[in-house]
Chain A
Amino acid sequence: GQNIDQPTEMTATEGAIVQINCTYQTSGFNGLFWYQQHAGEAPTFLSYNVLDGLEEKGRFSSFLSRSKGYSYLLLKELQMKDSASYLCAVSSGRRALTFGSGTRLQVQP
C-alpha cells in the first residue's frame, strides 16, 4: 500500500519563508508532485520531482530525497494569495497518483 503524510495546517507571515514537508511510503516510486488548491477551486500543478535534489521555479522550490521517502515544498516571499492547500502526490507502481490529505497554509499580514 501507499501512505503519504503532510501536516494538516500551517500559518506563516507575509514576506516570510515556509517549508511544507511530505513523507511517503510506497513501492515502485515514479515521481512526486506538488499541487496548490485554493478554496473552491481545482488543484493546479506546481512542481514535479523524479530525481533527488532541489527544483526551483520562481518563489517555489521542491526538494526530493528518494532514499528517505521525503519531500518538501519551499515558498519564499510569501504573499497573501499563497493562502491555499498544498497537496503532495506520489506516482508509483502502475503510475496511478496518490494524493496526501493536503496542508492548509494561512498567510497572515
Chain B
Amino acid sequence: KAGVTQTPRYLIKTRGQQVTLSCSPISGHRSVSWYQQTPGQGLQFLFEYFSETQRNKGNFPGRFSGRQFSNSRSEMNVSTLELGDSALYLCASSLDSDRAQYFGPGTRLTVL
C-alpha cells in the first residue's frame, strides 16, 4: 500500500498571503488529522476529518481551516499568514482516530 503523501513538500510565502496544503491518505483510511510541528511547541493538533466532516478541532485561530473530499483526500488552508506560522505541517491518516495514525512526510512552510 502506498503511504500518506503530502504536497508540496516545501513552500515559501510572505506575510499576509494564504496557502493550501494537500494530503492523500492511505487507501481505505477515512480519518485524516493535521498537525503543526515547531521546535518550541512540539506536535500541535489542528483538526481531524472523518468522512468529509470535521470531527475534532484543536486550539488554533480561524485562519486555519480544512476540508476533506469524498475520496478522503484532505486540504488545509491558512489565510493571512504570519511569521509564527512557519512550521512543519504533518498530515496523518488512520482507519479511525483511536487507531494508529500514519504520517506523511510533511510540508515545511516558511513565512517571510
Contacts and interface: CB of A to CB of B under 8 A. Distances in A.
A102 B42 contact: yes
A99 B96 CA distance: 17
A95 B101 contact: no
Interface in B62-112: 90, 96-106
Interface range for A: 20 to 34
Given A94-B55, A100-B42, 19 more contacts: A30-B98, A31-B98, A33-B100, A41-B105, A42-B90, A42-B103, A42-B104, A42-B105, A45-B101, A48-B99, A95-B96, A95-B97, A95-B98, A96-B45, A96-B56, A97-B45, A97-B97, A99-B42, A102-B42
Closest 5 A-B residue pairs measured CB to CB?
A: A42-B103, A96-B56, A99-B43, A95-B97, A101-B42
